[in-house]
């Protein structure tokens, strides 16, 4: 088979790496990919919002299957478009993708199907939002409704902070905003919970714990994720049963009730409070950097899983996992998630010899004149699979130090809640 992967981050490099293990793949293409994917796939530079051009290239190259990595093409309806043109594609359609594309769509679904989540209000103007905030107890959470690259969430400790958040969102920091979501702050521990669904059946696809804040001890601004480990330390049969019964199944039922079926990865971002799960948000694809910790633990052929999902026979696939845990540390550009320099050369990657359990997934990189340069805020992901997360974290830090890229920074405390 020829397989195409859409996206350019660490998640897509991890997906390509998993696909490469399959005996049934002749060639992998990546649209547009990054410096890391270029060593295992053919990168094709293309505008991802130009669906017609994408279709033309897919047909010209004879690609048998497309896997969509990031959320924006999914929310924009790429799956609907490719299916209409008889191209096999892995990922949810436009309606299912509203689970991530509109936080208000998801909140209304939670309300209708009694899915546990934070209490919330939806507001249509700065004035209405500020009037409500004057009556609130802090901390409080202010969210942009649409996609915001993981950054449209403000945890506000004071009225001044919340006022600034409301004004930034309504003034277009994350694109045009007609509505805003304000919800109570839930205090607990976060957990990323994944399923894969073919629209008829679903299977659990692992857990992880992401570290969103830029600085150690979960301080600083929200980012797209500074690291993760898998499986989550909160994972248990009892909790899993609650998540499935209270959150996942009512959500899938809610979509079926509007004549829609979810196909692809569904990622529930949860807050666990006294062993009870609350839904913070849904993502309709693998997380980044959670994907980079989950896929190296997968024993089953990833292509077989994708194909079974697209063909609606996931029930015939047995998901098998390696026993080891895994940990990912993100090396980010200095200044991220605010202003940072781009297009900086990264020397020394070729000199690092990786062992079987070590991975460096490229996130924000590109090749210029045969040399690797930075091309984004999160640049490289250092992932270690091992029996012991402390040893894994030390190994990852050792690799980062060996690279010695002066323009980057990273958190040394990824997994601190489980490594103590």
Provide φ and ψ at 113, rounded to 5°: -110, 15
Alpha helix stretches (DSSP H) within 62-102: 71-75, 78-84, 98-101
For the chain, the C-alpha Rg in angstroms (whole number) is: 21
CA 198 – CA 304 distance, rounded (Å): 13
Q: Tokens at residue 269, please?
A: 């971002």
Rounded to two decimals, what is the model's pTM? 0.93
List per-residue pLDDT tens for the chain, 420 residues long: 999 999 999 999 999 999 999 999 999 999 999 999 999 999 999 999 999 999 999 999 999 999 999 999 999 999 999 999 999 999 999 999 999 998 889 999 999 999 999 988 889 888 889 888 887 888 999 988 877 655 678 888 998 999 999 998 888 888 777 888 899 999 999 999 999 999 999 999 999 999 999 999 999 988 999 999 999 999 999 999 999 999 999 999 999 999 999 999 999 999 999 999 999 999 999 999 999 999 999 999 999 999 999 999 999 999 999 999 999 999 999 999 999 999 999 999 999 999 999 999 999 999 999 999 999 999 999 999 999 999 999 999 999 999 999 999 999 999 999 997
CA 301 – CA 286 distance, rounded (Å): 17
**Helix (DSSP H) and strand (DSSP E) numbers for the chain:** 13, 22
């Amino acid at each position: 088979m020829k397989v195409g992967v859409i996206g350019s981050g660490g998640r897509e490099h991890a997906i390509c790496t998993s696909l490469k293990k399959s005996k049934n793949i002749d060639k992998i293409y990546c649209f547009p990919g990054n410096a890391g994917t270029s060593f295992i796939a053919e990168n094709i530079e293309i505008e991802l919002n130009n669906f017609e051009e994408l279709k033309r290239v897919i047909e010209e190259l004879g690609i048998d299957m497309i896997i969509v990595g990031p959320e924006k093409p999914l929310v924009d309806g790429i799956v609907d478009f490719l299916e209409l043109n008889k191209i096999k594609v892995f990922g949810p359609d436009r309606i299912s993708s509203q689970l991530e594309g509109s936080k208000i769509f998801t909140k209304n679904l939670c309300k209708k199907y009694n899915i546990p989540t934070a209490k919330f209000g939806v507001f249509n103007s700065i004035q209405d939002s500020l009037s409500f905030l004057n009556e609130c107890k802090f901390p409080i959470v202010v969210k942009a409704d649409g996609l915001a690259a993981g950054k449209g969430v403000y945890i506000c400790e004071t009225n001044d902070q919340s006022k600034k958040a409301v004004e930034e969102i309504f003034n277009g920091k994350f694109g045009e905003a007609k509505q805003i979501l304000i919800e109570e702050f839930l205090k607990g521990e976060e957990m990323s919970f994944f399923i894969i669904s073919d629209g008829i059946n679903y299977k659990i696809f692992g857990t992880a714990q992401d570290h969103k804040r830029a600085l150690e001890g979960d301080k600083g601004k929200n980012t797209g994720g500074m690291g993760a480990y898998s499986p989550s330390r909160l994972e248990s049969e009892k909790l899993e049963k609650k998540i499935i019964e209270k959150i996942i199944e009512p959500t899938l039922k809610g979509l079926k009730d509007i004549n829609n079926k979810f196909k692809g990865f569904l990622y529930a971002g949860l807050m666990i409070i006294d062993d009870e799960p609350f839904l913070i948000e849904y993502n309709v694809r693998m997380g980044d950097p959670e994907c980079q910790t989950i896929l190296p633990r997968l024993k089953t052929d990833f292509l077989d899983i994708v194909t079974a999902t697209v063909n609606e026979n996931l029930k015939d696939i047995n998901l098998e996992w390696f026993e080891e845990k895994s940990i990912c540390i993100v090396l980010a550009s200095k200044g991220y998630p605010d202003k940072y320099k781009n297009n900086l050369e990264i020397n020394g990657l070729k000199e690092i010899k990786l062992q079987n359990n070590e991975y460096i997934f490229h996130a924000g990189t590109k090749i210029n004149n045969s040399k690797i340069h930075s091309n984004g805020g999160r640049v490289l992901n250092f992932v270690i699979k091992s029996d012991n997360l402390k040893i894994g974290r030390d190994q990852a830090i050792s690799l980062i130090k060996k690279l010695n890229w002066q323009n980057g920074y990273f958190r040394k405390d990824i997994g601190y809640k489980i490594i103590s």
